[in-house]
Amino acid sequence: MARLEDKAPGRVVRVNPAYTSQRCSACGIVDPKSRQSQAAFRCRSCGYVGNADVNAARNIHHAAGHAVSAREGPGVAGPVHREPQRVLLTGRSGLESLALQAREDVKSWRRDLMLG
């Protein structure tokens, strides 16, 4: 863990691994019988079916998203001083986002020229 923290200071978040392999990443119910085998996960509550390792990884990712770094806010969100990234806010691809921003810039410039 120390080696990871050296490589990515401020971005490594410790997560309690307890029940991550037994918790359903879809509904959150913990059931030891949901882990059918080393590779298969099937939630007996909501019916979610998936790879057991992927399910556990989603639970760890979710737990890390709720962890708070001692330095500056959520550890996985990156620096809190950054302005929001348009791609992340809209869910669009980078090119779609750039095209949309360019159109908005052109509209803004036209308005400025008409007013000025």
For position 80, what pLDDT does the model report? 52
Q: Which domain holds residue 29?
A: 2-80
For position 70, what pLDDT does the model report? 46
Residue 73 belongs to what H/E stretch? strand 73-74
pTM of the shown model:
0.51
Evaluate whether 22 touches 59 at the Cβ level (below 8 Å): no
For position 71, what pLDDT does the model report? 47
- Residues 111, 88 within the same domain: yes
For position 107, what pLDDT does the model report? 78
For position 7, what pLDDT does the model report? 75
Describe the chain by its helix, strand, coil percentages, rounded to 5.
Answer: 45, 10, 45
- Residues 58, 88 within the same domain: no
- Residues 75, 51 within the same domain: yes
- Residues 74, 90 within the same domain: no
d(CA 82, CA 73): 12
Given a cut of 50, the residues of the chain with pLDDT beneath it are: 69-76, 87
- Residues 23, 68 within the same domain: yes
Counted domains in the chain: 2
